[in-house]
Structures are given as C-alpha cells and as structure tokens.
Chains A and B, each alone.
Chain A
Amino acid sequence: MKSDWILEESSSDSAFAKVWRALKADRLALASLFFIIVTASLCFAAGIVAPYDYQVQNLSLGATPPSMEHWFGTDIHGRDLLSRMLFGGRVSFAVGILATVVAVLIGTSYGMVSGMCGGKTDALMMRIVDIVYSLPFTIFVILLMMAFGRSLWLIFVAIGAVEWLTMARIVRAMTLDIKSRQFVEAAVALGESRWGIMRRHILPNVFGAVLVCAALTVPSVMLLEAFLSFLGLGVQAPLPSWGGLVKDGAEYMEDAPWMLVFPALFFSATLYALNRIGEAVSEGSGEK
C-alpha cells in the first residue's frame, strides 16, 4: 500500500522534467522550440528590431517585391511587410499566451470544483459546459464585439471563454478519478478540508495533463485569433495581426503574391512548431 502512495505522489512533481526529457529526445520538436523562441522574441522586441514603423505609409512606393531595403517587400500602402509581420506576430503571440492562461485558470478551477462537488452540482455544471459548447461561436463573438466595441481585451476574453471548455472536461474527469484514490481517502480521514485536498492533492496530480492541454491550446487560440482578424473582427487596423495580414495578402495576391506568401508561411510554420511541441510534450508525459 505504502509504495503505491509514493509512486502516485512522486509521479506528479516531475512534470516539467518529464516534458523536458521528451523534448530533448525529439529533434524536430527541439527545432520547433528553437524556432518559436526566436520568432516570439523577435516579435516581442518588434519595437527595437523592426526596420520600419508598422503604420507609416509611403504611397509613392506602393507594393514592391522583396528587395534589399524591404526583405519581404511592401504592401499596397508602401508599408514594410517584415515590420508589419513582426508587430503582427507580437499581437498573435500575446493573444495566444494570455487567452491560454485565461482558459487554463477558468477550466482548471471549474473542472476541479465540479469534480470535487460531484452529484447534482457536477451534473449541472457539466450540462452548462455542454450548452456553451453547442453555441455558434462566431455569432457569439460577433455579438460580444458589437455590444462592447472591439478591443484586444475582449478578444482574450472571448477566446478564453471558448477554450476553457475542453480543459474543464479533462480536469473534471481526472478529479473524479483522483478523488477515489487512497491517498485522498487518507487525507480525508486525517481531517483535511475540501479546499486543502484540491490544492494539495488534486492540483499537483492534474498539473501534467493541464500542461499538455495548455501546450495544445496555444496554437488553437492563435488560429482563432487569426480567424477573427481574417473576418475583420479581430485586431483593428492599422495595428497588424497575422490573420489580418493574410486577409490583405489574399485580396492583392494577383499583383503582389509576396503579401500573401510570407504571412501565410510564417503563420503556418508557427502553428506547426507549436503543435509539434505540444505533441512531443503529450507523448513524453504520457498524458492524452
């Protein structure tokens, strides 16, 4: 019995170590990580590294193909595409990370409370999740945007409000499982409060799964943000975002294909790298 407890407890606190080991073993995932770190830091440092401003127009220049002065060319307003992509990437990454944090916080606490309470409360809470799941997301977001005006914060909230659902379901299922294990029974017998059990026993044990889920949430959030920006509902001009740049590129691709090719390439490469990392993390930690 005793060795069982030790096994269960000790397998949780090395979540980071396991993830790192898995990443190191997978060369493609390691390369992806490198790509993401470089791209993200360049984007966040856009204010310093970007060769031009993202909104200064040079209409006499117009759309020019890639050259020594403008590595990725310029858009129809004569704005440097590389600089716009760097600033746009900053928005995309920031939304990806912040909305994921929102989703993790809501999803984990909701799932844990639902699983801990059990019974009717649990059934009701999960029913709510089901209902929100079946709402038409795009209409929901558009209505939110129109009611409160478009803002970057609202995009975080809207995306976070959708992405927490999966997380809540996973955490709830795990909580139900962990709740019935012996170390929790022992803690209850020792007089541990519900809050203490959640914090000290459930949370460390769901942590690995949450980490995996979060790693896979980042790319799907960035995808959603790009989708909204593509519809013209996301980040507002002149501030660029990758979805908006792809939309502009699609509009002028006949005359200026580079406007489509570069943002599309970088956006897809980033999604690929993030998914690849997420996959390596989930395989490495043995969570699904």
Chain B
Amino acid sequence: MLKYFTSRILEAIPVFFIIVTAVFFMVRFVPGGPFDKERAVSEETLAALNSYYGLDEPLVVQYCSFLKNLARGDLGPSFKYAGWSVNEILREKALVSLELGGCALAIALVLGLGVGFAAAAFPSGKIGAALSGISLVGICLPAFVLGPVLILIFCLRLNCFNAMGWSDFPSDIVLPAFTLALFYAAWIARLSRSRAVEEKSRGYVRTAVAKGCGKGRVYFVHILRNAVEPVISYIGPAAAGLLSGSFVVETIFQIPGLGRFFISSALDNDYTMIMGCVMLYSVFIIAFNLLSDFLLAAVNPKIAKEMRK
C-alpha cells in the first residue's frame, strides 16, 4: 500500500514538471507581453519594466531563475497587480474559493448521494423515475445558466438574498454554493444510482436479505459501500475544480475568489500569475486523484489488494 502510494507520488513529480515547463514556454510564445494593455507606455518605460522583471533575458535564463525561486516557494511578483506577489494573492483569494468550493462539495455529495440512492431504492416506481429525471435536468443546467436564473428569481423578484457581494452574512453563500453544486450533485446522483441498481441484484445483497438484515442496513451498509465507488473516482478531479475556484460562479455573484484570476491572468499575459494558478490547480488535481485512490482502497479491499502487487 505505502509502496504503491510512494510510487504514485514519485510518478506525479515529473508530470508536474512537464505541465509547469509546457505552460512556462507556452505563455512566453504567445504574442504580446504583460505590459501591452497598460496605457501607451514609451519604449524606454517598457524596456525598463521588462528588464526590472527580467523579461529581457533569454528564455533559458528566465526558466532557470523561475525554478530557483520555485524551490524557495517564491512565485514572484504579479505583473498586473503591482505591489502584490503571487503568493499573497493566492493565499488571500484561495481562502474564499476554498470556503465556497467546500460548501458546494458538501451540498453536491449530500444531495447527489441522497437523490441517487432514493432513485435506486424505487427503480420501477414513479418516485424513482421522477428522481432520475430530476438528476438528468441537473446536468442540463450549467452554472452560467442556473446562476443568472436563480438571481433573477430569488434576488430580483422575491428579494430573498443579496444578488452580489461576499460579506459576513452566511446567507451570501447559499445561492453561489448551490449554483456551483447542482451540476456535480446531478452527476453524483446518476453515478450512484446506476451502480446501486446494479449492486442490488448481486448475490451478497440477496444473502444479506436472507440473513434477515433490515432494508436500511442492506442499503446503508452493504450497497452504499459499493455504490460510492464511481462517485469517489469522479469526485477526485471534480473536487480540484470546485476548490480551485469557479470563474463563472465567482463572476456572476461578484465573489472575490481565485477563479477570476485563473482566467484574467491568462488574458492579461500575467506570466507569474498564470504559473501560480496552473501550479495550484495541478497540485490540487494530483492530490485529489491520490486521495480518491486512497479512499477507493479504503472502501474496497479488492482494490487495495491489487495496489499491493
């Protein structure tokens, strides 16, 4: 087990470096520089800016100094937000995104597993059909459709919530978290439903019923453990996306999170910021994939056995 995960982590390191290197050179080959969009600057100012940030040096030198700084955990100054370092921006904004993403993840899991399981419990009845119908509707309502529609209904028509803003009120998180969560909840519901329906006809379930297990125990102890498998492998990459900030939801609800920097840094050619965002996201993806593998091994000894090989 430990050996398996050590080798997985060791394997992830070169992948991380390939991604970082590819993006490092890609952003620099894209025409235009970080200071193009400022008010027309004179040639000398531009040259001074470029030399101040070391952008006039050959690419290889830039890459080496980037790696050197990375080893010290320093991601450099942001080109766009003067006076801010990428570390500071990431640290400050990531908290907001983590809060929002964490809430959304919790909602998605509870709602998704609940609906998926209820739908599996009544596979042929009207309730089951209605629930799986609802989960299909969920994957047809992406955040950029659902968010504005929810604002239109709950903020502008019913006046229940603040449409924008992010302050101390816990009510401000309700709509954005729900908007972010629904799509994922729908996927989780579909995945868990189809697996749970499959598992229901398996021999071990029949044995459990024959032994005299109550319906609740059969569902929540025997079937649940097997039905969460596809959900766990889905939630790994999904969680990375949720927690690193959703550009769409943060824009719609005017939330000062990280998601916005994700896109705007690339549009502004803010090299150091792009690198920061990409690295954070890659680390998240790698970490959550490992975590989901670990969880899979924890719920299913068969998988754990395979990993030991």
Contact = CB atoms under 8 A, between A and B. Distances in A.
B231 to A, nearest CB: 16
Contacts of A134: 15, 19, 237, 282, 285-286, 289
Nearest to B280: A136
Given A143-B266, A247-B144, A253-B148, A272 B15 contact: no
Given A138-B262, A250-B144, A272 B277 contact: no
Contacts of A264: 145, 148-149
B141 interface: yes
Q: How large is the interface on B (under 10, 10 to 19, 20 to 34, 35 or more residues)?
A: 35 or more
Interface string B267-301: 10100001001100110011001000000000000
Interface string A127-168: 000110111101100110011000000000000000000000
Contact of B136 (A139, A250, A279): A279
Interface in B125-174: 136-137, 139-142, 144-145, 147-149, 151-152, 156
Given A147-B30, A268-B141, A272-B136, A227 B248 contact: yes
B89 interface: no
A143 B263 CA distance: 10
A273 to B, nearest CB: 9
B54 to A, nearest CB: 21
Contacts of A279: 136
A243 interface: yes
B267 A142 contact: yes
B142 A223 contact: yes
Interface string A108-137: 000000000000000000000011011110
A249 interface: yes
Interface of A is mostly: helix
A143 B141 CA distance: 27
Interface in A187-242: 219, 223, 226-227, 230-231
B148 to A, nearest CB: 4
B200 to A, nearest CB: 17
A253 B156 contact: yes
A286 interface: no
B136 A136 contact: no
Contacts of A261: 149, 152
Contacts of A272: 136-137, 140
A92 interface: no
B186 to A, nearest CB: 10
Interface string A262-282: 001001110110011001000
Given A227-B248, A269-B140, 10 more contacts: A130-B15, A136-B277, A139-B263, A143-B23, A146-B267, A147-B26, A247-B144, A250-B148, A250-B252, A275-B136
User: 8 closest A-B pairs (Cβ-Cβ)?
Assistant: A250-B148, A271-B140, A142-B266, A272-B140, A230-B144, A136-B281, A147-B30, A264-B145
